[in-house]
Homo-oligomer: A and B are copies of this chain.
Amino acid sequence: MKNPLLVPELRDYLESDNHEALGLFLDSGHPRVIAEFLSALTPTEAWQVLGTGPLSLAAEIFSEMDEWFQADVAEILSRRELAQLVTEMSPDDRVDLLARIPENRRLRILSALAVAEREDIRKLSSYHEGSAGSVMTSDYATLSPDLTAADAIDKLRREAPDKETIYYAYVVDEGRRLIGFASLKDLILAPAHELVEEIMNEGVISVRVTDDQEFAARQIQKYGLIALPVINGGDALVGIITHDDAIDIITREHTEDLEKFMAIQGSHDAASYLRTPALTHFKNRVLWVVGLAAAGLVSGGILHHFEATLSHLLILALYMPMLADTGGNTGSQSATVVIRALALNEISAKDMLQVLGKELKIALMLAAVLACVAWIKVQLLSGGSPIPGGFTLPQVGGAIVLALAIQVITSTLVGALLPMGAARLRLDPAVVASPALTTVVDITGLFIYFTCARLILGV
Contacts and interface: CB of A to CB of B under 8 A. Distances in A.
Interface of A: 1, 28-30, 32-33, 153, 156-157, 160-161, 166-167, 184-185, 188-189, 203, 205, 220-226, 242-244, 246-248, 250-251, 254-255, 257-259, 261-264, 268, 272-274, 278-279, 281-282, 285-286, 288-290, 292-294, 296-297, 299-301, 303-304, 307, 310-311, 314, 317-322, 324-326, 328-330, 332-333, 335-341, 343-347, 351, 354-355, 358, 361-362, 365-366, 369-370, 373-374, 377, 380-382, 385, 434-435, 438-439, 442, 446
A131 to B, nearest CB: 20
Contact of A273 (B160, B273, B347): B347
A167 B188 contact: no
Given A318-B304, A319-B300, A153 B188 contact: yes
A288 B32 contact: no
Contacts of A330: 285, 289
A284 to B, nearest CB: 8
A304 B317 CA distance: 10
Contacts of A247: 220-221, 243, 246-247, 250
Contact of A373 (B272, B279, B288, B293): B293
A393 to B, nearest CB: 14
Nearest to A306: B318
A258 B340 CA distance: 9
Contacts of A282: 361-362, 365-366
Nearest 8 pairs of A and B residues by beta carbon: A224-B244, A273-B341, A262-B336, A272-B346, A278-B361, A254-B254, A317-B317, A282-B365
Contacts of A28: 203
A324 B324 contact: yes
Nearest to A329: B435
Contacts of A224: 32, 242-244
A322 B347 contact: no
B340 A259 contact: yes
Given A282-B366, A307-B314, A439-B325, A333 B263 contact: yes
B189 A160 contact: yes
Contacts of A351: 274
Contacts of A370: 289-290, 293
A358 B278 contact: yes
A278 B362 contact: yes
Contacts of A1: 345
B188 A157 contact: yes
Q: Which one of A278, A321, A344 has the greatest number of beta carbons of chain B within 10 Å?
A: A321
A341 B276 CA distance: 11
Contacts of A355: 273-274
Q: Which one of A189, A225, A273 has the greatest number of beta carbons of chain B within 10 Å?
A: A273
5 contacts: A167-B185, A221-B251, A279-B365, A300-B321, A307-B314
A285 to B, nearest CB: 5
A137 to B, nearest CB: 12
